[in-house]
Amino acid sequence: MENRIEGKEHFHGSDLEKIEKYFGIPKESITGFGANVNPLGISPKMREGLAENIDAVTAYPDPEYTKLRNQIGAYAGCLPEQIIVGNGCTELISLFIQILKPEEALIVSPTYSEYEREVRLAGGNVRYYALKEESGFLLDTADFCNAMDDRTRLCILCNPNNPTSTATEPEELRQILAYCQSRRIFVMIDETYAEFAPEHVSISSVGLLNDYDNLIILRGISKFFAAPGLRLGYALTGNLKLLETVKERQNPWTLNTLADVAGRLMFTDTDYIRRTRHLIFSERERIYRELQNWKNIKVYRPYANFILVRILKKGITSYDVFVHAIRKGLMLRDCSSFPGLEDETFFRFCFMMPEKNTELLNCLQEILR
């Protein structure tokens, strides 16, 4: 087909400079449907507050980040002493894994590649538990538990999962946690996208923190609060001994003063949080219902701010769809680089403002319907 380009490249949601060079499209004219970032941009309360508090950079931050942890606790629904903040989730993933040093980690896939990297850097082995397409990429908790063996010391899940946007509810996770606790296995749950989940569906595992000392929850502000550059992540656990060990290993002042101030502001911006959820909830439902009516694709019920699509139309690959869209300045994610989705029939896109979402749907109709 006319849009096919030889020498296929893989592009991630933040690869705008690479795309600009490869396709000759100015990055300023590209709408990023591949980055999964809140289309409303940053919190207005944070924007105004940072300007007013710019002089905070003349002082060191509180090494305990007490005010920030208090605010996160109020926002997330847990105790401040159960929280540790870090330089993005990446630092916290690395610290916890370095301390746990699992002989083997069982990772639900397809998923984010950083988990495997950190386990291997810590000297551990990685096994993947593949979600099945025929089951709608939903986790079979009993089968997952059966997949663990005597060497398994850590299980890692992203919930809702990236790139499938599917989710596992807390009662199912409770079964996993109880089983793992009996076998002295830690469970790390990445809740990067949990705040986007529908209001009527409980996705977060925060309510299980007091019941299981083998639970670690990871969150950040890159996606929901559209502030990846601040590098603010946080982890929650009821295992205070483990938390203290992580703090001892962590470098002092890992979070800069502006990120500390920004976090305290954005978590209290209730109007921004409400508008974000309303936008994502309404657009997710509209787009999911629309795509269910298309005959040449298959979609899976989304719980995050993005949706996974499988191409059923013969002769069309996920890269073809990517190229067709990028020619129009619309960047989605070709998912063939994810383990388990290599057959080039899957792509993913996040929900932007309604008019842009409609523009992307019209673009996809041209090649898929």
169: its two tokens: 């509810």
Say yes or no to pLDDT of 271 above 50.
yes
What was the pLDDT predicted at 14? 58
**Domain span(s) for CATH 3.90.1150.10 in the chain:** 16-41+271-368
129 has a pLDDT exceeding 50 = yes
With a cut of 90, say whether residue 3 has pLDDT above it: no
Residues of CATH 3.40.640.10 domain(s) within the chain?
A: 44-269
**What's residue 26's pLDDT?**
80
SS3 130: strand
Concatenate the DSSP letters of all residues of 159-204 into one string: SS-TTT-----HHHHHHHHHHHHHTT-EEEEE-TTGGGS-TTS---
Sort residue 325 into left (φ over 0), alpha (ψ -120 to 50) or beta: alpha
- What is the average pLDDT score of the chain? 94
Detail the DSSP E strand segments found in 8-134: 31-32, 83-87, 104-109, 125-130
Q: What percent of the chain has pLDDT over 70?
A: 96
Domain 44-269 = CATH 3.40.640.10: yes
Phi and psi at residue 154, to the nearest 5°: -150, 135
Residues 6+ apart with CB under 8 A from 202: 169, 170
Q: What is the pLDDT of residue 4?
A: 38
pLDDT tens for residues 285-300?
A: 999 999 999 999 999 9
Which fold would CATH assign to domain 16-41+271-368? Aspartate Aminotransferase, domain 1 (3.90.1150)
DSSP structure class, residue 132? P
Name the region of 77 (left: φ>0; alpha: ψ -120 to 50; beta: rest): left
Low-confidence winner among 1-5, 193-197, 228-232, 282-286 (lowest mean pLDDT):
1-5
Q: Are 164 and 131 in contact (CB under 8 A)?
A: yes
Q: pLDDT digits over 90-118, tens only?
A: 999 999 999 999 999 999 999 988 999 99
Cis before 110 (ω within 30)? yes
